[in-house]
Amino acid sequence: MERSLTMELVRVTEAAALASARWMGRGKKEEADDAATTAMRNVFDTIPMKGTVVIGEGEMDEAPMLYIGEKLGNGYGPRVDVAVDPLEGTNIVALGTWNALAVLAVADHGKMLHAPDMYMNKIAVGPEAVGKVDINASVTDNLMAVAKAKNKDVEDVVATVLNRDRHSAIIDEIREAGARIKLIPDGDVAAAINTAFDHTGVDILFGIGGAPEGVLAAVGLKCLGGEIQGKLVPSNEEEELRCQEMGITDINKVLTMDDLCGGDDAIFAATGVTDGELLKGVQFKGTKGTTQTIVMRAKSGTVRFIDGNHSLKKKPNLVIKEG
């Protein structure tokens, strides 16, 4: 992948965030998602790459754009696989709560898992705890391992879990172990990425969420030196067959970082739509809009936080802070 592609992709997530943020708190998640998807698709058409969507808005007959198998880019440049979630947290935007993102990930062709649209059990940690956790181990054992790796008491560990009835046993065990919990309504891509940044106050992610979001999170954590493990959770025979059709024959297999995103290069970009622990959401100020984006490349290890100051009538200006 070309280095210049990194900054080109920032324009894609910025456009999606600016478009969807107009719908914040208005109770219309489908309209917000459609705005993000349309904006993202339009900018992708200008990007110098030969991209194929491997994780998108659905199959060709289910989604008007950004469907699995769709070709993206202007037909020039590197051949890459693309995972997109134009609005990760449609309910979040509809309600005006925290951690909605416009997200995409790009990897060398053939290196990204073609994750079916079903549930995945996940565990994610930042760099300090890489190699210390095991999705097949108990919640308590994993909490203790993270505490030891980060040189803190288990009572000081913060676990993020989607607030769902299916996670009641996980939540109970975290509380019994004495750790703290941050329950979130949606948005486990942001929650997984947050484990790699001390200032977010998050140490580990547990629980079942979308498999496509698991791949997006894996690309982000690959760039950051973190780790995510996953196990697919098909809910019926149709979903089991879907796994087999996509080359996943062992449903019980633990999917490692290399399974989710292989190779030595990948790019992850996310722009905040609503405020979160890691990124500020879009703000509109008269004729201007502001965005905050994180963009990362695995090969170089570069992490950039980009503050965008956008004239709503002109091309955006960027202020880049490298970290």
Summarised one tens digit per residue, pLDDT across range 26-48 is: 999 999 999 999 999 999 999 99
The verdict on whether residue 85 carries a ligand-binding annotation is: yes
Query: Is residue 254 exposed (0-12), middle (13-18) or buried (19+ Cβ within 10 Å)?
Result: middle
Domain(s) of CATH 3.40.190.90: residues in the chain? 119-260
Q: What is the 3-state secondary structure (H, E, C) of 134-168?
A: CCCCCHHHHHHHHHHHCCCCHHHCEEEEECCHHHH
Task: Provide the pLDDT for residue 197.
Answer: 97
The two structure tokens encoding residue 42? 């339009």
| Dihedral angle over CA of 168, 171, 177, 178, nearest 10 | -140
The verdict on whether residue 166 carries a ligand-binding annotation is: yes
Task: Provide the pLDDT for residue 64.
Answer: 59
| Rounded Cα gap, residues 246 and 60, in angstroms | 16
The verdict on whether residue 155 carries a ligand-binding annotation is: no
Domain(s) of CATH 3.30.540.10: residues in the chain? 4-112+265-322
Residue 254: closest CA among 140, 105, 133, 161:
133
The verdict on whether residue 90 carries a ligand-binding annotation is: yes
Summarised one tens digit per residue, pLDDT across range 160-208 is: 999 999 999 999 999 999 999 999 999 999 999 999 999 999 999 999 9
The verdict on whether residue 213 carries a ligand-binding annotation is: yes
Task: Provide the pLDDT for residue 319.
Answer: 55
Q: Is the pLDDT of residue 110 over 60?
A: yes
Task: Provide the pLDDT for residue 61.
Answer: 53
The verdict on whether residue 210 carries a ligand-binding annotation is: yes
Task: Provide the pLDDT for residue 195.
Answer: 98
Task: Provide the pLDDT for residue 247.
Answer: 77
The verdict on whether residue 307 carries a ligand-binding annotation is: no
The verdict on whether residue 153 carries a ligand-binding annotation is: no
The verdict on whether residue 119 carries a ligand-binding annotation is: yes
Task: Provide the pLDDT for residue 1.
Answer: 65
Q: How confident is the model at residue 2 (pLDDT cuts 50, 70, 90)?
A: low
Angle, alpha carbons 38-3-21 (nearest 5°): 30
The verdict on whether residue 89 carries a ligand-binding annotation is: yes
Residue type, 265: D
The verdict on whether residue 186 carries a ligand-binding annotation is: yes
The verdict on whether residue 56 carries a ligand-binding annotation is: no
Angle, alpha carbons 243-106-46 (nearest 5°): 125
Q: How confident is the model at residue 95 (pLDDT cuts 50, 70, 90)?
A: very high
Summarised one tens digit per residue, pLDDT across range 195-250 is: 999 999 999 999 999 999 999 999 999 999 999 999 999 999 999 988 888 777 88
Question: What distance lies between CA 96 and its chain's CA centroid?
Answer: 19
Task: Provide the pLDDT for residue 66.
Answer: 85
Task: Provide the pLDDT for residue 323.
Answer: 54
Is there a contact between 297 and 6 (Cβ–Cβ < 8 Å)?
yes
Q: Is 3.90.1150.10 the CATH number for 4-112+265-322?
A: no
Q: Is the pLDDT of residue 317 over 80?
A: no
Q: What CATH topology corresponds to 119-260?
A: D-Maltodextrin-Binding Protein; domain 2 (3.40.190)
| Rounded Cα gap, residues 41 and 61, in angstroms | 17
Q: Is the pLDDT of residue 12 over 90?
A: yes
The verdict on whether residue 165 carries a ligand-binding annotation is: yes
Summarised one tens digit per residue, pLDDT across range 114-147 is: 888 899 999 999 999 999 999 999 999 999 999 9
Summarised one tens digit per residue, pLDDT across range 248-294 is: 788 889 999 999 999 999 999 999 999 999 999 999 998 999 999 99
Q: What is the 3-state secondary structure (H, E, C) of the chain?
A: CCCHHHHHHHHHHHHHHHHHHCCCCCCCHHHHHHHHHHHHHHHHCCCCCEEEEEECCCCCCCCCCCCCCCEECCCCCCEEEEEEEEEECHHHHHHCCCCCEEEEEEEECCCECCCCCCEEEEEEECHHHCCCCCCCCCHHHHHHHHHHHCCCCHHHCEEEEECCHHHHHHHHHHHHHCCEEEEECCCHHHHHHHCCCHHHCCCEEEEEEEHHHHHHHHHHHHHHCCEEEEEEECCCHHHHHHHHHCCCCCCCCCECHHHHECCCCEEEEEEECCCCCCCCCCEEECCEEEEEEEEEECCCCEEEEEEEEEECCCCCEEEEEEC
